[in-house]
Amino acid sequence: MVKGNQTNVKEFILRGFPGSRYFQISLFMLFLFMYLLTLTGNITIISLVGTHRRLRTPMYYFLCNLSFLEIWYTTATIPKTLTNLVSQSKTISFLSCLLQMYFVFSLGCTEFLLLAVMAYDRYLAICHPLRFSSIMNSTLFTQLAIGSWVGGFLTISVLAFLITRLSFCGPTVINHFFCDIDSWTELSCTDTRLFEIVYISMCFIVILGSCAVTLVSYIYIISTILRIPSAQGQKKTFSTCSAHLTVVVILYGCSIFLYVKPSKQNSLDMKKIVSVFITIVTPLLNPFIYTLRNKDVKVTLRKAFHRT
């Protein structure tokens, strides 16, 4: 369809990871192995929490939500990436690209909100232990989880709508392995200033907003831990939130580099490498971080293996 001298593009080409056939096959095997390991790890956590009574607490309820999210987050990117690595055709339709972008970034926003909620949960558990059960009841933690999911998907709905108002007239090559917002909108032949303003504003609100909640929660948590008289007590209390803190540092560090700095300051190749870490490596590490650094999960997992 032609509008003046503009032609609306119906499909794009995902450049992915250029290289020799051997390099492509090697990446395919590596990503496939990591994807299967990610699914196994996150499904295991969901199964453990669902089948063991001692893990039915708000903290593990949020962890279940995070594991469920990671399953779909990786599924939104890796299968298409795997297909492109072994296929001659690397095209993706406009609608498929829009849907992939929508789900990847909606799930990403939801993860930030969930991590902030989990930080608030740890704040209540450590700083207000006597009131924790009455405050973080089943109604509140359910509302917080649902609110995180709804907030994440509604936020990206605005960006998805604005993208549908853009025109693309070539080139059609997206220098990424999935439909990243920056790489995609750079191909637009219409004015993207409004979109960029909204996009950057939402990045600041979601990433830095949730980061602020997490940071304030941990300031109170650490100050409370430091007032515990015994070193053993401090270590035991900190162990209940160390896994969450590790995940927070990894995710926020990479995401602030990618989405809060103006996109022109980052080369697309560097962003591609960091995106691999966020979309593939981090979802793989999360189950192991929570398992290896959490006593309750380790004990439950050990009992489950013995029973099997």
**Count of CB atoms within 10 A of residue 191's CB?**
10
- 3-class SS of residue 170: coil
Query: CA-CA distance, 283 to 270, in Å (whole number)?
Result: 20
Please report, for the chain, the start and end positions of each structural domain, with discontinuous segments joined by +.
2-307
If you classify domain 2-307 with CATH, what class do you get?
Answer: mainly alpha
Mean pLDDT, all residues of the chain: 84
Confidence label for 307 from pLDDT (cuts 50, 70 and 90): low
Q: Which residues pair with 173 in a beta bridge?
A: 13
The region of weakest confidence among 9-23, 115-129, 137-151 is 9-23
User: Which of the two residues, 90 and 292, has the higher pLDDT score?
Assistant: 90
Note the pLDDT tens digit of each residue in 207-222: 888 989 999 999 999 8
Query: CA-CA distance, 118 to 141, in Å (whole number)?
Result: 10
Complete edge-to-edge strand list for the sheet that includes strand 11-14: 91-93, 11-14, 173-174
Mean pLDDT for the stretch of residues 81-94: 88
Note the pLDDT tens digit of each residue in 281-290: 888 888 888 7
Q: What confidence score (pLDDT) does residue 57 get?
A: 84
- Could you tell me if 126 and 227 are in contact, meaning their C-beta atoms sit under 8 angstroms apart? no
Rg (CA), the chain: 21
Query: CA-CA distance, 28 to 196, in Å (whole number)?
Result: 33
Query: CA-CA distance, 45 to 47, in Å (whole number)?
Result: 5
Confidence label for 305 from pLDDT (cuts 50, 70 and 90): low
C-alpha distances (whole Å) from 278 to each of 53, 225, 247, 250, 302 are: 32, 30, 11, 9, 29
Specify the DSSP class assigned to residue 265. Answer: G
Neighbour-count burial of 145, counting CB atoms closer than 10 A to its CB (0-12 exposed, 13-18 middle, 19+ buried)? buried
pTM metric for this prediction: 0.87
- Candidates 85, 84, 86; CA nearest to 97 is 84
